């Protein structure tokens, strides 16, 4: 963000905070990952609070982190720059030190205007006030990087028909996309496939296997794969088949040190000599 824009934001903050005494949440970074949008100290007097969001205000998900004292998070209202509003009923009790579930925003990554939350501080022996932090997840941040990544996806060339496991291809998967594909060329005949994950954990939701014959196999998985682990072995319909491409849908698991996972797709060759 250019220096002039930063100064304009700071000037806007000054005028807004003078009028309302509630400093808006300023987000200056568009780096992929979790960012603290704002925080409030919530007490027994108020049951509603709001955080105005300015700057790099584009997010795909929210999460609340509670400190000092527990709260009952009743509901939230998310206001978008487009004028739309998203209402979410939660009724979730969060103890001091707890994080809420990850709350996905409608339509993927969106420009936020403000977040309003309704709550009550849970009774405690020390009459402590709850301190609530609102965090946002940035995903689809760099359109240029996305475009370059999509054009650099080369087909997976298999040159060996030797019996056993062969690496079909790999992808670095992040928060930008929720599906990816591998086009298979060459010695593309396999009987089973397996996913191997490193760097960060993922939730493998489903995959589609397209065969050279024109038919397609849909496989629902809905299984987490921890970094360093492998999926179950997935058998292909009809034994060993010539593959055209593999499409897989996934989510990178949030709250990890790494924000990208490396996913390798391996294939098993068995009945090779009868081709």
Judgement on whether residues 106 and 125 belong to the same structural domain of the protein: yes
Provide the mean pLDDT of the chain.
81
With CA atoms as reference, report the closest residue to 155 among 143, 170, 135, 165: 170
Judgement on whether residues 104 and 127 belong to the same structural domain of the protein: yes
pLDDT of 44 above 80 = no
Please check whether residue 274 lies inside any domain of the structure: no
Instruction: Please state the domain count of the chain.
Output: 2
In this predicted structure, what is the pLDDT of residue 11? 43
Please check whether residue 233 lies inside any domain of the structure: yes
Contact 261, 198 (CB under 8 A): yes
Which residues touch 8 (CB under 8 Å, ≥6 apart)? Answer: none
Judgement on whether residues 10 and 106 belong to the same structural domain of the protein: yes
Please check whether residue 153 lies inside any domain of the structure: yes
28 CB neighbour count, 10 Å cutoff: 13
Domain CATH number, residue 250: 2.60.120.1380
Which of 111, 138, 165 is at the close of a domain?
138
Domain CATH number, residue 124: 2.60.120
Please check whether residue 167 lies inside any domain of the structure: yes
Tens-digit pLDDT profile for residues 153-188: 678 888 888 999 999 999 887 765 577 888 998 889
In this predicted structure, what is the pLDDT of residue 56? 84
pLDDT of 15 above 60 = no
pLDDT of 5 above 50 = no
Judgement on whether residues 116 and 183 belong to the same structural domain of the protein: no
29 pLDDT band, cuts 50/70/90, is confident
% of the chain exceeding 70 in pLDDT: 77
Tens-digit pLDDT profile for residues 253-265: 766 677 678 899 9
CA distance 165 to 119: 54
Which of 81, 108, 138 is at the close of a domain?
138
Question: In angstroms, how far is the first alpha carbon of the chain from the final one?
Answer: 58
Contact 265, 181 (CB under 8 A): no
Judgement on whether residues 67 and 84 belong to the same structural domain of the protein: yes
Dihedral class, residue 55 (left if φ above 0, else alpha if ψ from -120 to 50, else beta): left
Which residues touch 34 (CB under 8 Å, ≥6 apart)? Answer: 63, 135, 136, 137, 138, 254, 255
Query: Domain range holding 250?
Result: 143-269
The two three-digit tokens of residue 154, written as one number: 């080369």
pLDDT of 141 above 50 = yes
CA distance 22 to 132: 15
Tens-digit pLDDT profile for residues 59-69: 999 999 998 88
């Amino acid at each position: 963000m250019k220096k002039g824009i930063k100064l304009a934001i700071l000037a806007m903050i000054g005028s807004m905070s003078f009028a309302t005494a509630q400093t808006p949440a300023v987000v200056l970074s568009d780096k992929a990952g979790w960012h603290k949008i704002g925080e409030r100290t919530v007490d027994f007097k108020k049951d509603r609070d709001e955080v105005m969001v300015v700057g790099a205000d584009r997010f795909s998900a929210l999460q609340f982190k509670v400190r000092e004292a527990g709260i009952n998070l009743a509901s939230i209202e998310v206001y978008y720059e487009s004028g739309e509003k998203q209402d979410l009923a939660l009724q979730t009790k969060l103890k001091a030190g707890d994080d809420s579930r990850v709350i996905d925003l409608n339509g993927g990554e969106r420009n936020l205007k403000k977040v309003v939350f309704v709550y009550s501080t849970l009774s405690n022996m020390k009459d402590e006030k709850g301190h609530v932090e609102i965090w946002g997840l940035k995903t689809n941040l760099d359109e240029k990087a996305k475009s370059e990544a999509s054009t650099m996806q080369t087909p997976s060339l298999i040159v060996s028909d030797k019996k056993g496991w062969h690496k079909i291809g790999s992808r670095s998967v992040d928060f930008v996309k929720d599906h990816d594909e591998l086009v298979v060329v060459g010695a593309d005949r396999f009987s089973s496939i397996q996913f191997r994950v490193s760097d960060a954990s993922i939730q493998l939701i489903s995959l589609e296997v397209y065969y050279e014959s024109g038919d397609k196999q849909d496989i629902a998985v809905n299984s987490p794969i921890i970094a360093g682990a492998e999926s179950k072995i997935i058998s292909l319909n009809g034994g060993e088949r010539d593959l055209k491409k593999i499409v897989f849908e996934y989510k990178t698991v949030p709250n990890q040190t790494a924000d990208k996972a490396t996913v390798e797709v391996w294939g098993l060759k068995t009945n090779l000599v009868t081709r």
